[in-house]
Amino acid sequence: MYMQLPVNDITSLIPQKYPFVMVGKLLHVDETLTRSSFVIEPGNVFVKNGFFQEAGLMENIAQTAALRAGYLTLTDNKPVENGYIGSVKDFEVLQLPQIKDELLTEISIENRIFNVTVFAGKIWLNTTLIASCEMKVFEGN
């Protein structure tokens, strides 16, 4: 069961549910790279004074990793598992996006040992890099 990309209905791929969904579409998955997109809506829980806050950007990167894991497990006919952020390193926000902005998020796998994945996450607004970090995620229920 290999899903066609992009995946527009991501609800079966991540454990998060509305109103805490911070990804919109799964655009690309390969051995080391995953890309997602997300349009910021006015009622989003991380919007303050018209701007999407730092915590939302971090969650967007983490949920892009969750999209990757969910996509890969479903293509292997396995159930989607929860993941947990173990650590965040060098989190840098260069610009806060606004309502109706579309974020393009990319995670690049740097290392994977047992159920721990370390990846670099980057978020772009159009062609401008607005946030980045290294994140360690523990997978499993």
pLDDT tens digits for 101-112? 999 999 999 999
Confidence band of 115 (pLDDT split at 50, 70, 90): confident
Cβ-count burial 26-35 (b if 16+ within 10 Å, e if not): bbebeeeebb
Q: Does residue 78 lie within any of the structural domains?
A: yes
CATH number at residue 85: 3.10.129.10
Q: Does residue 14 lie within any of the structural domains?
A: no
CA proximity to 65, closest of 90, 37, 34, 91 = 34
Boundaries of domain holding 69: 25-139
Specify the number of domains making up the chain.
Answer: 1
Q: Does residue 19 lie within any of the structural domains?
A: no
Confidence band of 2 (pLDDT split at 50, 70, 90): very low
Q: Does residue 9 lie within any of the structural domains?
A: no
The confidence score (pLDDT) of residue 1 equals: 39
Q: Does residue 92 lie within any of the structural domains?
A: yes
Q: Does residue 5 lie within any of the structural domains?
A: no
